[in-house]
Structure 1
Amino acid sequence: MKRKAIYDGTGPGFWAALLLAGLTSLAASPHWLATPDFAGLYRPVPDRLRPIVRREGDSLRIFLNRPAPAPGSAATMLRLTGWATYEAKQPLWQEVRAARPYPGSNPAAPVQVLTAAVSAARLTAGAVLQVSLDKPSLTNQPPSPDQDAATTAWLRLTPELLSRPFVLLDSTGLVLDRPYLNAGEGVAVATYGPVQPVRWRRYPTGTPALPPFTDPRSQAAAPRTLGIIDSSAAPVPAGSLLRLPSQGLYALKVGGAGGEPRHTVPLLVVPASFPGQSTAPEVIEPLLYLTTAAERQALLKAADPKRAIDRFWLDAAGGDQVRGREMIRRYYSRVTTANEVFTGHKAGWLTDRGLLYVVLGPPQSVRRLPSGEERWHYDQAGRQGEAVAFTFRPRPSTLAPDNYELVRRPEYEMLWYAAVEQWRTRTTAR
């Protein structure tokens, strides 16, 4: 009887009170945001947002190269958000700052350097800073998990990034917002505080990525240190434009005077056509993932390499010229995008992420886990059109701070050969 009174004897007042309590607790609970999908950051965009930072006393200053605003237009606003991890459900903090032209920049230039600062006390190593172009007309819209590379960028706050007191400038005075320098270009070091000496060392560039089914245990162990090919005999004069002599991977070493710490910045010097391809060798090299060594040598040694390359793609398209041109456009646009997005200690198409990007295409979904791993999801990459996921683990080093290695598995072998076969023998490819 007591149990019946408790469980069956509740009247309408009881249920109304219970519903009111539930609604109150729901209203008081935080608004959990959708898990970001970072696949959009790896798709080609004409004007990618690339913030660069410099430590200035108790602030971290953010620099952006942006098209000059129209006369009389409002200032560019940046929404800065701190996150504990890439997938945190609630931000640590958020603020909106006006990005102003950097003092001394040319106000008549078509592209200007804009800058804004945030208190360094809000930033901790291991956290993530999201930099977005703020659009007031959209602030009332629900947040989308999709990320747009033209309006949003994410910075992993490493101790090195939080303490580096300089940025690199190109020969036109813009911030060098890419990890590479085209052959013939110059670079200058813009330091906050006392001018510091600059030295450089040149190293060999990295080797191409191995297929995703390769057993790492079957490969020769990589050397623990890279051999130095060349180095500067004396510090570069302060404020001078530095022109690095040859293509390769450079380590710029800035600092050391007056007891200041020395910082190392890797910089890849690449052909003038990079991230695109113009010469026959530059077009043939990315065919590494689709061809044998003998086939590539035959293309390189052909009397007319350009005609030989066209013949390769025409054969792959079954003799259809229209489809052949489309396959060429698709394949090399992926190579170019991989170079834009994944270049670090070597060209982007040579990296593990570039390997999958070029052959399988952009992933449909990308997660960045709290562990630092990236997980790429393809909806129909399997041999039978099933979904497949690939995991990349961070393997940073001084010369490769953004390096990721693919977790290779033997079960990827048939999938990989099927994808290559599609490029080689079918009239269409993914």
Structure 2
Amino acid sequence: MRSVVFLLILLGSGLMAQAQFGNKNKKRQATATDANKSVDEVTILGIKSKFLAKDSTNVTVFMRVDLTKPNNVPVRWREFTEKFTLNYVVYPDFSSRERLAYGNIPLNEQNVVQLSHTRFMIRFEVKRPANHASGVLLGEISEIGTTKKVLNDLAIKFRDTKLGERFALFERTGRVPLLQNYVNLNDTVQLQDINKSVKELYVMRYRHDFEPAQSPMNTNPRNAARTLGVDTTFKISTSSPLIFKEEGLYYMTEDTTDTYGVGIVVTNKRFPKMTRPAELVRPVMYMSQANEINEMLAPKDPKKSLDRYWLNLMNGNSDLAKRTISAFYSRVEEANRLFTTYKEGWKTDKGMIYIIMGSPDRVQRSKDREVWVYSQRANFSEINFTFNRRPNQFVEDHYELQRYVEYQPIWYPMVEAWRTGAVRD
């Protein structure tokens, strides 16, 4: 499934950056003009980045770029490296315009690896600015000869780095990091740092089915966090092939008393897609009543129950049911791909909002907050969803939604649109 980028406005700064979200509505709007596009036109869909600390004075930045061409034609390596340029600026933080460092990164064989027909990885080094141990790197990828550009922001650190800021999961060859919080069962990966050092780490596996996100209107205090029971423990060596044989949440640390480590969700081979009827029932909870969920979970044949649920919603219109099912589970898949943290993406607060509301029109970001802004919908002019970053031992990008009862007049009509087949994705 293709994805479309949207502008990311940095809070308090006016700097522009971009992040990747799926947005089929925008993709469909562009389809009408595809016939007029040159077959050689290459468009950047999104950027995802991560840094790994090399030492106290240098970090390595990995920047994955997703591209597309009309009619899903593959993008050749030279098309990317010869059509685009990459520049970066380092600022002290999200709210400052003071330039600490800047540079131009040549897109060549040393810095660019092609991952697939439409996906490329750029790797480059950034030196620590004088008198600063951290900063925000704003990367700008521009199309040569045009005004088109895509931006991406990344908070970087040079000192006091955590394990997850020094080590990352790489694909089986160890050339490029995965830049995601999940791997599939029996895939071969490597946990390594930039220096490919060999270190023994402790691994704890948790076999736990985490709860899905609560309603945006549920302002009741969350229950105290429960202690997770460790299912199995073992040791691994970094920079060596690693295969996970069982599904679950895995947590890797240098010491069993460490507060922060590297967390990874090991999923079935189909993930981020969901294909089993027993799995498909669960995300529907975001648009269903309690009695409907209970009815789907009770029967021995969840597939028939799920089919009956969708047909009943669409008043027996099977074509409308098929279109709505396709749109709904496309968003579920995209939520899994984009937002999986220590649990599947569809279960997270961001995943819930994305599934029901779709891609935000813009995002305002600061160090510990994201605000998703939706504008010009049928039942409202503008609405904001605020996600606050919370400490989490497993992952760095755990965000929780700030809930309000005032979301009701916005949320319920969107849910009803799903239940009547009015959503077009």
What does residue 156 of structure 2 align with?
A: 157
What one-letter code is carried by the residue in structure 1 that aligns with 2:129?
A
Deviation at 1:344, TM superposition (A): 0.7
Distance 1:296 1:263 in 2: 36
Structure 2 residue aligned with 1:369, among 349, 363, 366? 366
- Show CA shifts across 1:348-367 (max 9, x none): 11111111111122222211
Q: Does residue 265 of structure 1 match 2:262?
A: yes
* Kept in 2: contact 1:164–1:263 (CA 8 A): no
What does residue 243 of structure 1 align with?
A: 243
Structure 2 residue aligned with 1:42, among 3, 21, 46? 21
What does residue 32 of structure 2 align with?
A: none
TM-score, normalised via structure 2 length: 0.75
Structure 2 residue aligned with 1:321, among 312, 318, 321? 318
Distance 1:127 1:317 in 2: 51
SS of equivalent to 1:78:
strand
* Kept in 1: contact 2:13–2:95 (CA 8 A): no
Structure 1 residue aligned with 2:205, among 168, 177, 202? 202
Distance 1:98 1:161 in 2: 30
- Closer, same or farther in 2 for the Cα pair 1:77/1:60, shift >3 Å? farther
Structure 1 residue aligned with 2:394, among 394, 399, 405? 399
Identity %: 25
What does residue 181 of structure 1 align with?
A: 183
What does residue 228 of structure 1 align with?
A: 230
Q: Does residue 56 of structure 1 match 2:44?
A: no
Structure 1 residue aligned with 2:345, among 343, 348, 351? 348
What does residue 306 of structure 2 align with?
A: 309
Distance 2:80 2:345 in 1: 40
Which moved further from structure 2: 200-209 or 403-412?
A: 200-209
- Closer, same or farther in 2 for the Cα pair 1:241/1:341, shift >3 Å? same
Structure 1 residue aligned with 2:374, among 360, 378, 389? 378
Distance 1:55 1:130 in 2: 17
Deviation at 1:164, TM superposition (A): 3.6
Distance 1:122 1:206 in 2: 44
- Show CA shifts across 1:72-126 (max 9, x none): 96597532222344455565443111255569x9999977764211113369556
Distance 1:77 1:252 in 2: 37
Q: Does residue 115 of structure 1 match 2:115?
A: no
- Greater per-residue helix proportion: 1
- Closer, same or farther in 2 for the Cα pair 1:122/1:271, shift >3 Å? farther
TM-score, normalised via structure 1 length: 0.74
- Closer, same or farther in 2 for the Cα pair 1:175/1:322, shift >3 Å? same
Distance 1:106 1:407 in 2: 39
What one-letter code is carried by the residue in structure 2 that aligns with 1:337?
E
What stretches of structure 2 of length at least 5 have no aligned partner?
1-11, 25-43, 66-74
- Show CA shifts across 1:284-326 (max 9, x none): 1211212245433433555654344333223323333333222
Distance 1:274 1:93 in 2: 40
What does residue 338 of structure 1 align with?
A: 335
Which moved further from structure 2: 406-415 or 122-131?
A: 122-131
Distance 1:72 1:329 in 2: 32
SS of equivalent to 2:139:
strand
* Kept in 2: contact 1:345–1:400 (CA 8 A): yes
Distance 1:108 1:381 in 2: 37
What does residue 17 of structure 1 align with?
A: none
CA RMSD of aligned residues (A): 3.8
* Kept in 1: contact 2:84–2:144 (CA 8 A): no
SS of equivalent to 1:315:
helix
Deviation at 1:399, TM superposition (A): 1.2
Which moved further from structure 2: 401-410 or 159-168?
A: 159-168
Distance 1:109 1:337 in 2: 18
Structure 2 residue aligned with 1:79, among 87, 90, 100? 87
- Closer, same or farther in 2 for the Cα pair 1:331/1:84, shift >3 Å? farther
Q: Does residue 421 of structure 1 match 2:416?
A: yes
What one-letter code is carried by the residue in structure 2 that aligns with 1:133?
I
* Kept in 1: contact 2:370–2:388 (CA 8 A): yes
Which moved further from structure 2: 108-117 or 349-358?
A: 108-117
Distance 1:125 1:205 in 2: 38
Distance 2:209 2:298 in 1: 24
Distance 2:318 2:99 in 1: 52
- Higher Rg of the two aligned structures: 1
